[in-house]
Amino acid sequence: MFFQGCYNPAYEEQIRKCKDKCFEYNKLNPSDRETQSIMLKEILGSAGKDAIIVPPFWCDYGYNIHVGDSFYANHNMLVQDGLPVKFGNNVFIGPNCTFTTAEHPIDPELRKKGVEIAKSITVGDNVWIGTGSIILGGATIGDNTVIGAGSVVTKPIPANVVAVGVPCSVVREISEKDKTAYPFYSDIR
């Protein structure tokens, strides 16, 4: 956990510079993957091979975001990265998803003084996060897990499960049955 003050000129300047880079990234031609890849490497702390973030994309610092290989985020991803936000390999993010490490105190006097709390977020390998989900600071999502659309993840979610809801909770484990749920599965093995 990390405590920082809002209204800090040094942090505000870092955020401004990052927002300027995001603005430029969001103006790129959607088919210009090469320039997008170059700019992502300027914005993010690290980006694996074949990392794609479909514009528009916004973040606060950028350097706290780390994405693995074959990462794909659809339109309108927002990351408030006061602390590290780490994504594994082969992660799919649906449109309109938010990842926020930031919290503010419940006490109004502390909020007025600019106290801000940040907690990191970790997303494992082979994770799919459905459209419109919100992942809050302190959350971890285990490998191979699916987060259903519209979920709000407030706590750790284990590996190999389907989880959904507000707040997000496990509904079942991923099983061998899931491999045969689609009639075309045997054609793509």
Active centre residues (catalytic) = 104
User: What is the 8-class DSSP label of residue 54?
Assistant: P
- Residues with Cβ within 8 Å of 176's Cβ and at least 6 positions away in sequence, in order, are none
Do residues 92 and 110 make contact, with C-beta atoms less than 8 angstroms apart? no
Q: Angle, to 10 degrees, between the axis of helix 9-26 and the axis of helix 33-43?
A: 170
Other C-beta atoms closer than 10 Å to the C-beta of 26 total: 12
End-to-end CA distance of the chain: give it in Å, rounded: 43
Q: Any bridge partners for residue 117, and if so which? A: 3, 103
Q: Is 187 helix (H, G, I), strand (E, B) or coil?
A: helix
